[in-house]
Amino acid sequence: MKRVLTGAILLAMLVLPAIAAPPEGKPASDRDSAVAEKLIAAWNSRSPDKMVPLFTDDIFYEDVAFGEVSHGSAELRKFAVSEFEGVPDLELKLLRANVHGGHGTVEWMFSGTDKDVFKTGKKFSVRGVSVIDVRDGKISRCLDFYDVATIMRQVGVLPTPPSDAK
C-alpha cells in the first residue's frame, strides 16, 4: 500500500505541473494580465494614437450595447474618436481583471459627461466588462458589455422605472 501511495504522489508531482503549466511560448507570469491595465490607460488617454497600438492590425472590436463593430485598426480609430468626442471627459476605472493564456475579462466602471451620444450634457456612470483575446501581447478581439439603459436613465433620456416595477 505504501508503494502505491508513493507511486501516486510521484506521478502527481510529475504530471500536475505539466497540466498547470502555461502553453508553450507563454511565460509562467503570463504577460497577458498586464493588458488589462494598458486597456484602461489607453481609453483614459483619450488619444487614438495611444489606443490603437494596443490592438492587432486585424482587431475585431464590438461595443455590444450600441451594436458598433470595428474591423481593423482604421475602423477602431474611427470608433475611438467618436467615443472621445461623445464623452470628452471619459474615464474608465479598472475594477478587476482575469486574463490568462490569451483570453480573459476586464471589469470596469465607465463614467463621463454625455456630450454627443444623447446630447444631454449630463454625467453618467455604468459598470461593464470587456471580454478579450490577446495575441502576441496585443488585443485581437474585444467585446464590451454594459447596460446602455442605465446610462440613458442617468442622463434623462429614459425614465426611471417605478420602484415597484419588477
Percent residues over pLDDT 90 in the chain = 75
User: What digits encode the pLDDT tens for the residues 59-97?
Assistant: 999 999 999 999 999 999 999 999 999 999 999 999 999
128 Ramachandran zone, left/alpha/beta (phi>0; psi -120 to 50): beta
pLDDT at residue 115 tops 90: yes
All cell numbers assigned to 58: 486585424
- Give the 3-state secondary structure of residue 116: coil
Residue type, 154: Q
Q: What is the mean pLDDT of residues 104-118?
A: 97
Rounded CA-CA distance 64/130 in Å is 10
Full set of structural domains in the chain with CATH: 30-154 (3.10.450.50)
pLDDT at 142: 98
How many residues in total does the chain contain?
A: 166
Alpha helices in 21-71 (DSSP H): 33-45, 48-51
Model confidence band, residue 166 (pLDDT cutoffs 50, 70, 90): low
What's the N-to-C CA distance of the chain in angstroms? 61
Q: Are 72 and 58 in contact (CB under 8 A)?
A: yes
Q: What is the mean pLDDT of residues 4-14?
A: 41
